[in-house]
Amino acid sequence: LKLNSANLNSLENCTVPTYDRSSIKHGIVHVGVGGFHRAHLAVYVDSLLEQLKLKDWAICGVGMQSFDAEMRDALVPQDNLYTVIERSAPGSKARVIGSITDYIFAPDNSEAVIAKMAHPDTHIVSMTITESGYFYNENTHQLMTEHPDMAADLAGANPPRTFFGYVYAALARRYEAGLKPFTVLSCDNMQKNGHITRDMLLAFAQHRDPDVAAWLSQNGAFPNSMVDRITPRTVSEDVQSLRSEFGVEDAWPVVTEPFSQWVVEDKFCDGRPAFEKVGVQVVKDVKNVEEFELWKLRLLNASHTAMGYSGYLGGFQYIHETIGHPVFGKYIRNMMNEEVKPLLPPIPGVDVDEYIQTLIGRFSNPTLKDEITRICLGGSGKLPQFIMPSIAEQIVAGGPLRRLTLATAAWFRYLRGVDEQGRDFQLSFDPRNDELQQIARDEGNPMKLLSIKDLFGDDLRGDERFVKELTEAYNGLEREGAMKMIEKVA
């Protein structure tokens, strides 16, 4: 049966929303309606609407990239309904999510996006726009004002080209109208995602109008949050299995795991729904978010990154296969236990060994089919965040770092785009692929890559032990391949 409002009550094998979707105001505008948003925030909001029958908190989705036309074309004909398929060894569950009740494709309708954000009913603008959507220079911590899209928006481009361009335009209208700013809620995987959002948006506003910047700085809110739910890319088999197992015809379902976590700082300037009623950890102290964030980025994301590049070189297709391989499994476990765990702050009431065990269980989920090529996306945003900080801290502590270093070397080796049999392959997308691949190919030497200051800063290049280990790991990968090198350092 085709998924849409009219057929909702005839779907038998899955959970469906029973609330009246037509009468709920849009309290949230979400930019970047990809897999993750649809498996995470939109699910929490769906639970709120279902359980508390809230009338002010539906989501209006927004796509800003030209390729988001595909999401619009999938969602709109099904009245913005979609299915979340939760996969685990005991079996799959399907749940239709109703919290997104409208979708605006910004390239065709920029004014509608600005007007929706500026509308007094909108209390939160949330986003999952990937690291590159923030135009954040990791090294200088400044807004990348020189980027052509950012430069255009700073000069007042209409329609805007960036997330900040849109958000600023809407906030400036609210300022003029004497309204409160909305909360800008980042759900991207970045440490201090709220702080970065605030700093980049205020820098943007300062360029455009210092009065708006001052108003926003005084009245705005940018909660930090830690988000966690592994959400692979949807593939055509998922669409087919939903149809055959559950009888639902959905153009673009989402596949995810049973686990879900969201820790968010309780800092909202224009109200929020009672997220804590549906399993969200809403915390008063930003320190609590930061601790969870650190654990997650340094354990989960670092392990993913380490498995991604070396796993690709080693010929694996999925994460569960990689962690299930005795040598790779040992490598990842030891990396977490010996090189990362000792650096992490304790979190009262949470056992780090159990956390690591749970992670390994999640990575091992054979039904999730999380592709290595997805994990390899955007390495230039990942290595500096997930791997390098642990290396830098181990340098200072004089502790072990060879496994983390091998993960870095594997990324450098991967960037050449030539596999271990000498065949060219297409790198997973990264906004800096052209530049990085050229350096990786011309030099065949890890030091040139390590010299890119805005990625790696100065500290690591100056450390003799690290440089030696990195060079050896890189040369080892070249000579002996990933499997042998992982075995050596595991």
* Of 122 and 130, CB closest to ligand NAD: 130
Tell me if 68 contacts ligand NAD by CB under 6 A.
yes
Give the residue among 261, 410, 262, 260 at the shortest CA–CA distance from 335. 410
Tell me if 42 contacts ligand NAD by CB under 6 A.
no
Stretch that binds ligand NAD, among 33-41, 111-119, 413-421, 481-489 (CB under 6 A): 33-41
Among 26, 44, 47, 63, indicate the residue that binds ligand NAD (CB under 6 A): 63
* Of 368 and 477, CB closest to ligand NAD: 368
CB 256 within 8 A of CB 230: yes
Tell me if 160 contacts ligand NAD by CB under 6 A.
no
Stretch that binds ligand NAD, among 11-19, 61-69, 195-203, 385-393 (CB under 6 A): 61-69
Stretch that binds ligand NAD, among 25-33, 342-350, 407-415, 458-466 (CB under 6 A): 25-33
For residue 190, give both structure tokens: 């970045």
* Of 63 and 308, CB closest to ligand NAD: 63
CA of residue 88 relative to chain centroid, distance: 22
Among 132, 261, 317, 445, indicate the residue that binds ligand NAD (CB under 6 A): 132
Tell me if 481 contacts ligand NAD by CB under 6 A.
no
**What residues contact residue 114 under an 8 Å CB cut-off, 6+ apart?**
166, 169, 170, 173
* Of 221 and 227, CB closest to ligand NAD: 227
How close are the terminal C-alpha atoms of the chain, in Å?
50
Tell me if 5 contacts ligand NAD by CB under 6 A.
no
In which residue are the tokens 């988001």 written? 68
Cα–Cα distance for residue pair 160/165, rounded to 1 Å: 5
* Of 148 and 326, CB closest to ligand NAD: 148
The residues facing 61 across adjacent strands are 30, 103
Type and span of the H or E element at 406: helix 402-415
CA of residue 54 relative to chain centroid, distance: 27
* Of 293 and 469, CB closest to ligand NAD: 293
CB 223 within 8 A of CB 185: yes
Task: Output the residue with the shortest Cβ distance to ligand NAD.
Answer: 34
3 state DSSP class of 351: coil
* Of 38 and 413, CB closest to ligand NAD: 38
Stretch that binds ligand NAD, among 4-12, 17-25, 34-42, 477-485 (CB under 6 A): 34-42
Tell me if 130 contacts ligand NAD by CB under 6 A.
yes
The residues facing 102 across adjacent strands are 60
Min dist CB 480 to ligand NAD, Å, is 32
Min dist CB 227 to ligand NAD, Å, is 5
Tell me if 165 contacts ligand NAD by CB under 6 A.
no
Please state, as a whole number, how many other Cβ atoms lie within 10 Å of the Cβ of residue 243: 14
Q: E strands along 173-258, which residues? A: 183-186, 225-228, 254-256
* Of 66 and 158, CB closest to ligand NAD: 66
Provide the phi-psi class of 149: left if phi over 0, else alpha when psi is between -120 and 50, else beta: alpha
Cα–Cα distance for residue pair 348/105, rounded to 1 Å: 44
Give the residue among 49, 202, 182 at the shortest CA–CA distance from 125. 182
Stretch that binds ligand NAD, among 130-138, 238-246, 263-271, 382-390 (CB under 6 A): 130-138
Q: Considering CB under 6 A, how many residues would be counted as binding ligand NAD?
A: 23
Tell me if 363 contacts ligand NAD by CB under 6 A.
no
Please state, as a whole number, how many other Cβ atoms lie within 10 Å of the Cβ of residue 21: 18
Stretch that binds ligand NAD, among 32-40, 87-95, 117-125, 432-440 (CB under 6 A): 32-40
Min dist CB 231 to ligand NAD, Å, is 4
Min dist CB 281 to ligand NAD, Å, is 15
Among 17, 27, 35, 481, indicate the residue that binds ligand NAD (CB under 6 A): 35
Tell me if 33 contacts ligand NAD by CB under 6 A.
yes
Min dist CB 148 to ligand NAD, Å, is 13
For residue 324, give both structure tokens: 């299930």
Q: Which positions from 211 through 240 interact with ligand NAD, judged by CB under 6 A?
A: 227, 229-231
CA of residue 64 relative to chain centroid, distance: 16
The residues facing 30 across adjacent strands are 61, 126
Cα–Cα distance for residue pair 399/394, rounded to 1 Å: 5
Cα–Cα distance for residue pair 92/90, rounded to 1 Å: 7
Tell me if 308 contacts ligand NAD by CB under 6 A.
no
Tell me if 129 contacts ligand NAD by CB under 6 A.
yes
Give the residue among 118, 139, 124, 145 at the shortest CA–CA distance from 200. 145
Sign of CA dihedral 322, 328, 333, 336: negative
Among 3, 21, 28, 34, indicate the residue that binds ligand NAD (CB under 6 A): 34
Cα–Cα distance for residue pair 83/245, rounded to 1 Å: 13
* Of 129 and 196, CB closest to ligand NAD: 129
Stretch that binds ligand NAD, among 64-72, 115-123, 150-158, 314-322 (CB under 6 A): 64-72
Residues that bind ligand NAD (CB under 6 A): 31-37, 63-65, 68, 128-130, 132-133, 163, 188-189, 227, 229-231
